[in-house]
C-alpha cells in the first residue's frame, strides 16, 4: 500500500518536473544552438537529461545497475545499439555515450520544446514510411556523424516494445557499421518495467543495464555482423530480471 502511494505521488511529481524542465530547456535550446559550437551543445542538453534521470530515481524510487561500463570508449565512435522499451534509455544513453546522434522519427522534431532541444544534438531524423530512403539517410548521415567523432544510436526494433514482447531487429545498424567500418556497441536493459512506454505512471524498482563488448565490423558482411549482434542481445535480454523480480512491493 505504501509503495503504491509512493508510486502515484512520485509519478505526479516527476511528470510536473518533466514538463517544466522540458519547456525551460526547449526555450533555451535555440539560443544555445546559435551561440555554442557543435561540440559544446550536448553537454548543455545533458544537464536536462541528468536532471530528469536524477529526479526519476529519487521521486519514483528507482535504482540503476549498470554492468559493463568498461566497454565504453568515448574516444572511439561506434554504432550504439539498444533495445527500446521506454523513454528512459534515450536519456541515459545520451549521458553515458556523449557525443551521440540518435536515429529517430522526424515527427519528434516538431514537438514543441522537446523537439527544439533534440535539434541541438544533430539527430538523424527519418521518415519511417519511406523505408528505402530512410535507410539511405541513416547510412549517409550516420557516416557523417561517425567521421565527425559522434557515435550513432539506433534502436533496431524501430519503435518502443513492451518488455514481454519480441520484435525483429532490422539490419540498419549492421549496414551502417560495415559501411563506416566502425564497431557496434550493444546494450540491453529492462527499463520498461519501471518506466513503461506511453504511460505517465512510473514504478519503483531496479533497472539493469548490460553493456557488451564492442562487436568489430572489419572484414565482416552485414548479415554476419547483424546475426552476431542479434544473438548477443537476445541472449542477454533473456537473462534480465522481469516483472515482479525487479519491482518493489
Least-confidence region, from 8-17, 76-85, 127-136, 152-161: 127-136
Q: How many degrees, rounded to 5, is the angle at CA 56 between CA 104 and CA 29?
A: 50
Mean pLDDT in residue range 172-178: 97
Judge whether residue 213 has pLDDT over 80.
Answer: yes
Show the cell assigned to 236. Answer: 542477454
Query: Which residues, including other chains, have CB under 8 Å from residue 129's CB and lie 6 or more apart?
Result: none
Q: Are the C-beta atoms of 204 and 62 separated by less than 8 Å?
A: yes
Judge whether residue 59 has pLDDT over 80.
Answer: yes
Mean pLDDT in residue range 60-83: 96
Side-chain-side CA neighbours of residue 77 (13 Å): 20
Place of cell 543495464: 209
Residue of 65, 6, 15 whose CA lies nearest to 246: 65
92: number of Cβ within 10 Å = 23
Task: Report the share of the chain in percent with pLDDT over 90.
Answer: 68
Interaxial angle between packed helices 131-147 and 172-180, expressed in degrees from 0 to 180 and rounded to the nearest 10: 40
Annotate 27-89 with DSSP letters as a single string. Answer: HHHHHHHHHS-HHHHHHHHHHHHHHHHHHHHHHHTEEEEEE-GGG--TTS--EEEE--SSSHH
Task: Report the share of the chain in percent with pLDDT over 70.
Answer: 96
Judge whether residue 245 has pLDDT over 80.
Answer: no
Mean pLDDT in residue range 23-28: 88
Least-confidence region, from 47-56, 59-68, 127-136, 193-202: 127-136
Judge whether residue 198 has pLDDT over 60.
Answer: yes
Which strands, in side-by-side order, build the sheet including 205-211? 62-67, 205-211, 184-189, 79-82, 151-154, 100-105, 124-126
More confident call, 214 vs 127: 214
The answer to whether the bond into 7 is cis (omega within 30° of 0) is: no
DSSP three-state, residue 18: helix
- H-run or E-run covering 114: helix 114-118
pLDDT-based confidence at 248, cuts 50/70/90?
low
pLDDT-based confidence at 3, cuts 50/70/90?
low
Judge whether residue 48 has pLDDT over 70.
Answer: yes
Least-confidence region, from 117-121, 124-128, 234-238: 117-121
Amino acid at each position: 500500500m505504501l509503495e503504491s502511494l509512493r508510486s502515484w505521488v512520485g509519478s505526479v511529481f516527476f511528470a510536473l518536473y518533466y514538463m517544466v524542465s522540458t519547456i525551460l530547456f526547449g526555450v533555451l535550446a535555440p539560443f544555445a544552438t546559435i551561440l555554442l559550437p557543435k561540440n559544446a551543445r550536448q553537454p548543455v542538453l545533458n544537464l536536462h537529461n541528468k536532471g530528469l534521470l536524477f529526479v526519476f530515481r529519487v521521486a519514483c524510487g528507482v535504482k540503476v545497475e549498470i554492468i559493463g561500463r568498461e566497454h565504453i570508449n568515448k574516444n572511439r565512435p561506434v554504432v550504439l545499439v539498444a533495445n527500446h522499451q521506454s523513454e528512459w534509455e534515450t536519456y541515459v544513453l545520451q549521458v553515458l555515450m556523449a557525443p551521440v546522434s540518435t536515429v529517430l522519427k522526424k515527427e519528434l522534431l516538431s514537438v514543441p520544446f522537446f523537439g527544439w532541444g533534440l535539434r541541438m544534438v544533430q539527430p538523424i531524423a527519418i521518415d519511417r514510411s519511406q523505408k528505402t530512403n530512410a535507410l539511405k539517410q541513416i547510412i549517409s548521415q550516420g557516416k557523417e556523424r561517425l567521421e565527425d567523432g559522434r557515435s550513432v544510436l539506433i534502436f533496431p526494433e524501430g519503435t518502443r516494445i513492451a518488455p514481454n514482447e519480441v520484435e525483429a531487429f532490422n539490419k540498419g545498424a549492421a549496414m551502417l557499421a560495415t559501411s563506416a567500418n566502425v564497431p557496434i556497441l550493444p546494450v540491453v536493459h529492462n527499463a520498461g518495467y519501471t518506466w513503461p512506454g506511453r504511460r505517465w505512471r512510473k514504478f519503483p524498482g531496479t533497472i539493469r543495464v548490460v553493456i557488451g563488448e564492442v562487436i568489430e565490423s572489419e572484414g565482416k558482411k552485414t548479415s554476419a555482423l547483424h546475426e552476431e549482434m542479434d544473438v548477443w542481445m537476445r541472449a542477454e535480454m533473456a537473462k534480465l530480471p522481469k516483472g515482479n523480480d525487479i519491482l518493489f512491493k
